Amino acid sequence: MGKSSKKALKRRHHTVPRLLLRRFADGEQTMRVPLDGGERRPVGVADVTVRRDFYSIRDENGQLDDTVEDLLSDLENAAAKIIRQIVDGLWPLPIEERAVMAEWIAAQHARIPAARAANNEIADHLGKMLIAIGGKPEIRRRLEADAKEPVSDEKVEALWQELTDFDGYYTEVSVNEHMTLMARSMKTAYEVFMARAWGLIKFERRTLLLPDHPVTLMRGEDIPSFRGVGIGNAAAILVPIDRRVAIMMASSRHGDFVVRTHTKLAKELNQRFADNARKELFHHPDDNPLDGVELHPVRDREIVISQPPEAFMMADGPSDVFKRVMSDVPEPPPGALPPRFDGR
Cα torsion 99, 189, 69, 90: sign: positive
10 Å Cβ neighbour count for 136?
Answer: 17
pTM over 0.85: yes
| Distances, alpha carbon 251 to alpha carbons 68, 80, 101, 108, 236, in Å | 31, 26, 18, 20, 7
Strand partners, 58: 64
Distance CA 167, CA 113 (A): 22
Q: What is the pLDDT along the chain (344 residues), one digit of tens a residue?
A: 444 456 789 999 999 999 999 999 999 999 999 999 999 999 999 999 999 999 999 999 999 999 999 999 999 999 999 999 999 999 999 999 999 999 999 999 999 999 999 999 999 999 999 999 999 999 999 999 988 888 999 999 999 999 999 999 999 999 999 999 999 999 999 999 999 999 999 999 999 999 999 999 999 888 877 788 999 999 999 999 999 999 999 987 778 999 999 999 999 999 999 999 999 999 999 999 999 999 999 999 999 888 999 999 999 988 765 566 556 556 555 554 444 333 33
Distance CA 71, CA 57 (A): 13
10 Å Cβ neighbour count for 125?
Answer: 17
Find the angle CA(268)-CA(76)-CA(232) to the nearest 5 degrees: 50
What's residue 326's pLDDT? 55
The answer to whether 207 and 244 are in contact (CB under 8 A) is yes
The answer to whether 93 and 101 are in contact (CB under 8 A) is yes
What's residue 313's pLDDT? 93
The crossing angle, in degrees rounded to 10, of helices 153-163 and 113-146 is 170
What's residue 330's pLDDT? 60
Find the angle CA(338)-CA(215)-CA(209) to the nearest 5 degrees: 160
What's residue 227's pLDDT? 80
What's residue 334's pLDDT? 56
Residue length of the chain: 344
Q: Residue 284 — φ and ψ, nearest 5°?
A: -60, 140
Q: Comparing C-alpha atoms, which of 302, 292, 232, 282 is closest to residue 29?
A: 282
Q: Comparing C-alpha atoms, which of 306, 322, 305 is closest to residue 314?
A: 322
